[in-house]
Amino acid sequence: MVKKRTCIFISGYGSNLKYLINNSRNQNFPIKISLVVCNNKNAKGILHAKKNSIPCLIINTNKRNFENKILNELKRYKISLICLAGYMKIISKKFINTYGKTIINIHPSLLPKFKGLNTFKRILKNKEKKTGCTVHFVNEKLDAGTNIIQKSFFINKNDNEKILKNKTQNLEYKAFSEAIIKIFRYN
Ligand code: GRF
């Protein structure tokens, strides 16, 4: 199987990145992680790239033309899939159109509920019975592209933000890889 050359965008811990790296070692997993893009030079996630000898582009998003710089690297590394894994920067419409290939994102709620930030706080405030995570295609609207996969769990009355985050992230690690397998199943 020819693996799709994939770039993972991160901003923080990179725990999703870590799981994707591990799963991509399996020869039946459809992607090879060829590049990591990070917009935070202090992000812990950079270490996962380093440890696994994956090139990592650290980008300053305050600079003009930063998206062009990323686009050039994507071309150089022949990237055909982007996975946003905790990338805390909105991708511009121009970037999406210029790149022209698949971009997917993981979000810690059952979209279309709770788009945007501070999801766990809002989920608790809203007294939701269930929550979970969504992997979806990225379009120019925030957290709004077609869903690929959702995984959910029931919220216990003692669950706080931290517990919700842990439970959600444990589902994310499975959901991200399952979503990737799903989109390449017939290719
Ligand atoms: C994940 O919970 C994801 O849903 C959100 O950002 C978080 C990233 O965590 N978009 P990590 O950097 O993968 O540990």
Write the pLDDT tens digit of every residue in 102-112.
999 999 999 99
Q: Spell 131-159 as b/e; 16+ CB within 10 A means b.
A: bbbbbbebeeeebebeebbbbeeebeeeb
Task: Tell me: pLDDT of 142 over 90.
Answer: no
Q: Give residue-wise pLDDT tens across range 84-101.
A: 999 999 999 999 999 999
Give the start-to-end residue ranges of the domains of the chain.
4-185
Q: What is the mean pLDDT of residues 130-148?
A: 95
Backbone phi, then psi, for 98, in 5-degree steps?
Answer: -70, -45
Q: Residue 186: pLDDT band by 50, 70, 90 thresholds?
A: low
Q: What is the mean pLDDT of residues 136-160?
A: 95
Q: Give residue-wise pLDDT tens across range 25-62.
A: 999 999 999 999 999 999 999 999 999 999 999 999 99
Local structure of residue 170 (DSSP, 8 states):
H
Closest Cα to atom 14, ligand 1: which residue?
A: 15
Q: Are 2 and 15 in contact (CB under 8 A)?
A: no
Q: Residue 1: pLDDT band by 50, 70, 90 thresholds?
A: confident
Pocket test of ligand 1: the residue of 134, 151, 172, 174 to mutate, having most ligand atoms within 8 Å of its CB, is 172
Q: What is the mean pLDDT of residues 58-74?
A: 96
Closest Cα to atom 9, ligand 1: which residue?
A: 86
Q: What is the mean pLDDT of residues 64-81?
A: 97
The mean pLDDT value of the chain amounts to 96
Question: What does CATH list as the number for 4-185?
Answer: 3.40.50.170
No. of helices (H) and no. of strands (E), the chain = 6, 7
Q: What is the mean pLDDT of residues 138-167?
A: 96
Q: Residue 178: pLDDT band by 50, 70, 90 thresholds?
A: very high
Q: Sign of the CA dihedral 18, 43, 171, 166?
A: positive
Q: Sign of the CA dihedral 177, 181, 182, 184?
A: positive
Q: What is the pLDDT of residue 185?
A: 81
Task: Tell me: pLDDT of 187 over 80.
Answer: no
The answer, yes or no, to whether the previous bond of 112 is cis (omega within 30 of 0) is yes
Q: Residue 143: pLDDT band by 50, 70, 90 thresholds?
A: confident
Q: How far is the CA of 73 from the centre of ligand 1 (A)?
A: 23
Model pTM?
Answer: 0.96
Out of 48, 107, 136, 167, the active site residue is 107
Q: What is the mean pLDDT of residues 7-13?
A: 98
